[in-house]
C-alpha cells in the first residue's frame, strides 16, 4: 500500500516538476522552462557530479541523440516534449560548463534525487 501511495505521489510530482513561466525581456514576451525532479527529468546534470548514478554510456540516448547523453532514457524526456510544445530548444542541464544562456530556462533535475528517507537508505 505504501508503494502505491509513493507511486501516486511520484506521478503528482512529475506532473508539476516542470514549470512553464512567461517572462518579459526588453518588452518582448518570452517563455522559459525550469525543470526540477529526479531521473525522469534529468538531462545530464549527473555527468557533472560525483555520483554513482550516471547514464553517460550507451544505450542511453542512442535513439534520438545517437550517443550517450546522461539522460535516463534512450531518447527524449517529457520536458523535451514540453519545450517543443512551447517552441523552446532542448533545455540544457544546469551544471553543464558549456551552458551560459539561461533565457530559455534550466534543468535542475538529478537522477537519484530523493527527499524521502526510503530513497537514501545507507547514506
Rounded CA gap, 97 and 112, in Å? Answer: 21
How many other CB atoms are found less than 10 A from the CB of residue 65? 15
H-type alpha helices, 38-77: none
Rounded CA gap, 50 and 85, in Å? Answer: 33
Averaged pLDDT for residues 86-91:
86
Does position 3 have pLDDT exceeding 70, yes or no?
no
Residue 78 near residue 6, CB atoms below 8 Å: no
Does position 56 have pLDDT exceeding 60, yes or no?
yes
Does the pTM surpass 0.85? The reply is: no
The share of the chain scoring above pLDDT 90, in percent, equals: 0
Residue 11: band (very low, low, confident or very high) from pLDDT cuts 50, 70, 90? low
Amino acid at each position: 500500500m505504501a508503494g502505491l501511495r509513493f507511486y501516486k505521489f511520484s506521478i503528482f510530482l512529475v506532473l508539476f516538476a516542470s514549470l512553464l513561466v512567461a517572462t518579459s525581456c526588453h518588452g518582448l514576451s518570452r517563455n522559459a522552462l525550469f525543470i526540477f525532479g529526479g531521473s525522469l527529468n534529468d538531462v545530464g546534470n549527473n555527468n557533472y557530479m560525483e555520483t554513482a548514478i550516471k547514464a553517460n554510456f550507451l544505450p542511453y540516448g542512442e535513439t534520438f541523440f545517437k550517443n550517450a547523453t546522461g539522460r535516463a532514457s534512450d531518447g527524449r524526456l517529457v520536458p523535451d516534449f514540453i519545450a517543443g510544445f512551447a517552441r523552446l530548444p532542448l533545455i540544457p542541464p544546469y551544471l553543464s560548463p558549456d551552458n551560459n544562456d539561461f533565457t530559455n530556462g534550466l534543468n535542475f533535475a538529478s537522477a537519484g534525487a530523493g527527499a524521502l528517507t526510503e530513497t537514501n537508505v545507507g547514506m
